[in-house]
Amino acid sequence: MITIMINGFCMALADSVPGVSGGTIAFLMGFYDNFIGSINNLIRGSKNERISALKYLLKLGLGWIIGMGLAVTVLSAVFEKGIYHVSSLFIGFIIFAIPVMIYEERNNLKNYRDTPFIIPGAALVILISVLGTGNSADISNMNPALFLYAFIAGMAAISAMVLPGISGSTLLLTFGLYIPVINSLKQLMHLDFSGVPLLFAVGLGIIVGIIVSVRLIKNCMERFRGQTIYSVIGMMIGSLYAIVQGPTTLKVPQAAMSFDTFHLLPFFIGAALVVGMQAAKMISVKNKTQTLA
């Protein structure tokens, strides 16, 4: 149970930051297929499959809630004050995660004719980042139009969060709802319920988005895994642009990251996180193999 909660915790930390996907964390830590399969089984599986999936997702969700709680109370302040350090860290994380993903999926990437799928994947994330102005939507008057807008944003965000390579937070940023959602979560933790209508609209969109997107993603990963993985790699490459532009999307916008504001130490810390995740995954696989033997 502790391992599953840690997995959810790590996903939440990634999901809370624009430019990084919780799906990428799930992939690197080796539980992505189980994660997607459990959601699919919860929606469409047999009774036993649903029970098993529910137990797994509750454990994962508990870790995610703890991680998101930490993110909105602590990491958001760090993100605002140390944006260039945080961005450097995630650049290192993504750059080192790409070869790990290629290595893990090497048997599914042998058909080099699928390589061009990298291009639309990268273009999609860059386009989303370009469209994102960083201007927060006015949620002071929650009317039906704004409710529908937040609902659609929630659908789009969760579809991205469960897909490695593209960040749901980046999509919320594009819709102008990232800062309002984070602030609403902070308020709720302090028993201020003024942001609940927004969270309800986004949450409802998340539920519908999961039902709609997970089946599609699962089918793509099963039937067109090579093309899908190349697209995901493209999304990860494109997310580097989103991270570089991250400082421009703050409440008080700062200049996009440059070589002068890039920090080497956080970059290598990000790389070390990838190496550590891969090492933990290999140890876990080895232990399971020995147990079965």
Dihedral, CA of residue 187, residue 189, residue 11 and residue 207, to nearest 10: -70
Using CA atoms, how far residue 82 sits from 66, 78, 79, 85, 272, in Å, is 22, 5, 5, 5, 19
> What is the structure's pLDDT at 118?
94
C-alpha dihedral over 8, 12, 13, 16, to 10 degrees?
Answer: 170
Task: Assess whether pLDDT exceeds 60 at residue 50.
Answer: yes
- Mean pLDDT score of the chain: 82
Query: Using one digit for the tens of pLDDT, what is the confidence trace for 91-110?
Result: 898 899 899 888 888 888 98
Q: Tell me: the pLDDT tens digits for 116-173?
A: 999 998 898 788 777 765 555 666 777 888 888 889 888 888 877 777 767 777 777 7
Predicted pLDDT of residue 137: 62
* pLDDT of the residue at 5: 86
Given a cut of 90, is residue 264 above it in pLDDT? yes
Which pLDDT score, from 0 to 100, does residue 19 have? 62
Residues 66, 8: Cα–Cα separation, whole Å: 9
Cα-based distances in Å from 62 to 56, 59, 105: 10, 5, 29
pLDDT of residue 176: 74
pLDDT reading at 261 higher than 90:
yes
Contact 28, 9 (CB under 8 A): no
Which phi and psi (to 5°) does residue 32 adopt? -65, -50
Of 8-22, 26-40, 158-172, 273-287, highest mean pLDDT: 26-40
Is the CB of residue 88 less than 8 Å from the CB of residue 266? yes
177 and 133 Cβ atoms separated by less than 8 Å: no
CB 137 within 8 A of CB 182: no
- Please report the pLDDT score of residue 132 as a whole number: 60
Please give the model's pTM, rounded to 2 decimal places. 0.77
Closest CA relative to residue 218, chosen from 47, 38, 55: 38
* β strands within the chain, DSSP E: none
Quick: pLDDT tens for 221-253: 888 989 988 998 998 888 888 788 878 766 677
- Count the residues in the chain: 293
Query: Percent of the chain beyond pLDDT 90?
Result: 13
pLDDT at 75: 64
Expressed in percent and rounded to 5, the helix, strand and coil fractions of the chain are 80, 0, 20
pLDDT of residue 227: 92
Q: What is the mean pLDDT of residues 174-180?
A: 76
- Higher per-residue pLDDT: 212 or 132: 212
